[in-house]
Chain A
Amino acid sequence: MEAKDSEGQTGLAALGLGEAPEETPEEGPRRIEARLSPSDRLYRVVASGGAGITLLIIVLIGIFLFLEALPAFQTAGFGFFTTQRWDPDAATPEFGVAAMMFGTAVTAVVAMLVTVPLAIATAVFINEYAPRAARAALTSLVDLMAAIPSLIFALWGLFFLVPWLQPIEGWLVEQLGGTLPFMRAIATGSSLFNAGLVVALMCIPITTSIIREVLSQAPRHECEGALALGGTRWGMITTVILPFGRTGIIGGAMLGLGRALGETIAATLILNIRFEIKPQILETGGITVASGIAVEFFDAQKLGLSALMAAGLSLFVVTIVINLLAAVVVERAKAA
């Protein structure tokens, strides 16, 4: 960034030198003045307009969702955040995002618990353990995984991963369900936990690639110093690389979290829709905000639509706050 700015200034100075020959010679530094031609002013306006539209879109999304959601907020009041049921088009409307938010939080937590250790391991493996020749190929593989649509991961999860996991989950429920209340389940399969696992598949690539990028900037001379002092490779990783990349790891995890919160299709396909807060995460049934919108959208009447907008707005606010924080953290980690 700094280097870029100074280059821009040299450009300005070069232009100013060419344009100001008739200035009266005085003592002290010459005042350099670069006036923009009309065409350049137009170019600045157009380019600023482009940036302005990008900014405007996000503001518009917020304003529009808020306007559309207003009737729902007025009807439900503060109960919108505490009610579990979703019945906005009934004669006495009763609806709220509590169950949706709970489901979103559970899937996101499960996804993060899987994603973060695996992403750190993969990033460290690619940077420090993989043979030099395989490094580029593995990085491409992570990028490719990021490019695969979430719909395809969701299909695979629904037809391959969940049936594959079901016997293990059944066994766990049988063994532990008696002692641990949150492990109880009447039926397993279409549960928040499984949805979270499938969502993790979509978070792993983005988190890995950010963590890998930050960790690869760890100062090489300090790594070599650690090795030269007789440290093992693992010692070098724990004392130099991971402390250096701590903020990057947090930022990458938060960007992955943003993905997890907004994921729609995996939850829609895998979950058995139930508007209910329940701590038994292995039990079939649940809902997330995004999948709730996708499922209820086609049956929604006037107030129902407004209520969906309100749910969308809450999701929007949560993800934007998390992503803004993550963007700031990652920016700082890269600058460090």
Chain B
Amino acid sequence: MATTRALDAKPAPKPDQPADAARQVPRRRPRAWRWADIGEFAGSAASALLLTWLIFDRLLPFRIQGVAFVVGWYVLTLPVYWLVVRDGHGPVAAKDRLATVLIASGAALALSPIFLVVGYVTVRGLAVVDFGFLTETMELTGPLSEATDGGLLHSLVGTLEQLGIATLIAVPLGVLTAVYLSEIAGPLARPTRLVADAMTALPSIVAGLFIYSLVVIRTGWGFSGFAGSLALTILMLPTVTIAAEQVLRVVPGSLREAALALGSPYWRSVLLVVLPTARAGLATAVILGMARVVGETAPVLLTVGGTNILNTNPFSDYQDNIPLFVFNQIRSSKQTFVDRAWGGALLLLILVLVLFVLARLAGGAGPGGRSRRRKGTAK
């Protein structure tokens, strides 16, 4: 690596190089970082570190924490680096380098939480999760039990059932809407697309409130897993619709025309040509929708009730689900309950990661295997 960098840098005039070295010109890489650039940055950072230490440990009357020290170091590095580059390369290059540092650190700051979150949840959750955690309920677990006693079987069953019912309702409806938007494009298409876009950010608690007033109160059904599934359906529908419509749009028009030219009615061309061509992408749409709602807490808080007992019937009586389990346990003042909440959070995270990876695998196949060829160019 170091040798190639050095070769790249050859055309830059160096006093110790013989003049005929420039005769065969290697490829110039204007964007490559040279050792001198890295040196400039490292030097600036080091001097800023010393400056920070000087200011905060020697000049100012008070001491600051480690975090604030790092922030101070970062803030001081910027002007020092700017001055160094300005001295060597001029103000335009200095602005460019400073922007590079700012943008890279902004991206690092925005993306670092995901590693911290996954790491923290894994560490706290692994302390609790064992086989019993998946096969026991909280029915016999009291405040004096160990953190490893009890489990979330009742919540897991609730989550699977509610998610399953929501998927069964939302997917046909969402795909049908997507077919309307993409294949028929009638007068309702524009308002429907706008509403679907707006619904993606419908406050989840409002969906819960709506189902609570309509199903739980008005019909007198009471809290049930099914009410929770309906609330999740409302949240899942726009995600499935939008993702499915994007997939259907990619299906080549020539396939539709071929089907129609062979004399098939529209519905057969959609059912037997368009949808099967897009099935991989549709699978992704479905999984994305499931991942969107599996961790929703607010709507199920208002609709499924929450319980410590295993209830396998989603159509009557209180049920639980994993986000609700985590939410209820984490608010307890007992440390063992809080520990169990982290176990639930870890399980939830694993569920989401599995769904995410499945969506990626399904999406990778692409409509009709075309994407394997396109992989080089698209995205």
Contacts and interface: CB of A to CB of B under 8 A. Distances in A.
B116 interface: yes
Contacts, number: 294
B257 A10 contact: yes
Task: Give the residue among B172, B203, B237, B360 with the most A Cβ atoms within 10 A.
Answer: B203
Interface string B345-375: 1001100110110001000000000000000
B96 A234 contact: yes
B65 interface: yes
Given A51-B192, A147-B291, A153-B117, A320 B173 contact: no
Interface stretch (B4-12, B45-53, B174-182): B174-182
A233 B93 CA distance: 9
B120 interface: yes
Nearest to A155: B345
Given A7-B253, A54-B173, A262-B206, A324 B198 contact: yes
B185 interface: yes
Nearest to B266: A40
B210 A65 contact: yes
B173 A42 contact: no
B209 A47 contact: no
A221 B283 CA distance: 36
Contact of A122 (B107, B198, B348, B356): B107
B249 interface: yes
Given A121-B102, A152-B345, A315 B192 contact: no
Given A11-B253, A58-B195, A319-B203, A160 B297 contact: no
B110 A208 contact: yes
Nearest to A5: B185
B298 A290 contact: yes
Given A65-B213, A121-B107, A144-B356, A293 B205 contact: yes
B213 A11 contact: no
Interface in B170-225: 172-177, 179-186, 188-189, 191-192, 194-207, 209-210, 213-214
A149 B107 contact: no
B213 to A, nearest CB: 5
A180 to B, nearest CB: 18
Contacts of A269: 327, 330-331
A7 B258 CA distance: 12
Interface in A135-149: 136, 138-145, 147-149
Task: Give the residue among B93, B260, B298 with the most A Cβ atoms within 10 A.
Answer: B298
A113 interface: no
Contacts of A235: 92, 96
Interface residues of B, number: 104
A129 B121 contact: no
B15 interface: no
Contacts of B205: 262, 264, 290, 293-294, 312, 315
Contacts of B295: 148-152
Main secondary structure of the interface of B (DSSP, over half): helix
B36 interface: no
A194 to B, nearest CB: 14
B206 A61 contact: yes
Nearest to A170: B65
Contacts of B238: 54
B93 A232 contact: yes
Contacts of B114: 141, 144-145, 148
A89 interface: no
A279 to B, nearest CB: 24
Contacts of B241: 54
A79 interface: no
Given A47-B183, A55-B191, A262 B348 contact: no
Given A235-B96, A290-B203, A294-B298, A43 B266 contact: yes
Interface string B141-185: 000000000000000000000000000000011111101111111
Nearest to B105: A121
Interface string A32-53: 0000110110111011111111
The 6 closest A-B pairs by CB, nearest first: A149-B295, A121-B106, A262-B203, A50-B176, A7-B253, A258-B201
Interface of B: 31, 64-65, 67-68, 92-93, 95-96, 99-100, 102-107, 109-111, 113-114, 116-117, 120-121, 124, 172-177, 179-186, 188-189, 191-192, 194-207, 209-210, 213-214, 234, 237-238, 241, 249, 253, 256-257, 260-261, 263, 265-267, 270, 288, 291-292, 294-298, 301-302, 323, 326-327, 330-331, 341-342, 345, 348-349, 352-353, 355-356, 360, 379
Given A48-B188, A50-B179, A60-B214, 14 more contacts: A43-B267, A50-B176, A54-B177, A55-B191, A65-B206, A119-B110, A129-B103, A139-B379, A151-B326, A152-B121, A156-B113, A156-B117, A235-B96, A265-B327
16 contacts: A18-B263, A44-B184, A54-B174, A55-B191, A60-B214, A145-B114, A149-B297, A149-B352, A234-B100, A235-B92, A258-B201, A290-B203, A294-B205, A297-B301, A323-B201, A327-B197
